[in-house]
Amino acid sequence: MTGPEILVQRLPNDIGGQGGPAIARTEHPLAAWEKRCHALADVLDFHKIINTEEKRHGVAALGTGINAALSYYERWILAFANILFQKGILTPAELAEKMQAVEARGAR
């Protein structure tokens, strides 16, 4: 099966049993922002704003291309933003404006 049907028969993360290359036993200490992103996920779950299943689905919904190109926590934060838009908690314009402000102030 090599046609586009592969894209609809399995969601991007439904990969169990597909086979693949040898396992590289990588260990990767989290960057500070990645750990903050993980803590954010837990806090969003505590407040029932985004639960684990919504997060998992939100990552799958990013689609095959984004899932392949982004790293683990890059996918998470992008999924959180989309879910917050869908729930009407944030708007894309607010986030864009805030990101410009954060970038302009430079340092964390």
Q: Does 42 bind another protein (CB under 8 A)?
A: yes
Query: Would you tell me how many other CB atoms lie within 10 Å of the CB of residue 73?
Result: 18
Residue 79 CB, shortest distance to another protein, in Å, is 11
Q: Does 22 bind another protein (CB under 8 A)?
A: yes
Interface residue with another protein among 1, 28, 88, 93 (CB under 8 A) is 28
- CA 72 – CA 75 distance, rounded (Å): 5
- CA 93 – CA 99 distance, rounded (Å): 10
Interface residue with another protein among 8, 18, 88, 93 (CB under 8 A) is 18
Q: Does 4 bind another protein (CB under 8 A)?
A: no
Q: Name the site residues for another protein (rule: CB under 8 A).
A: 13-33, 35-40, 42-47, 49, 51-53, 56, 59-60, 67-74, 77-78, 80-81, 84, 89-90, 94-95, 98-99, 101-103, 106-108
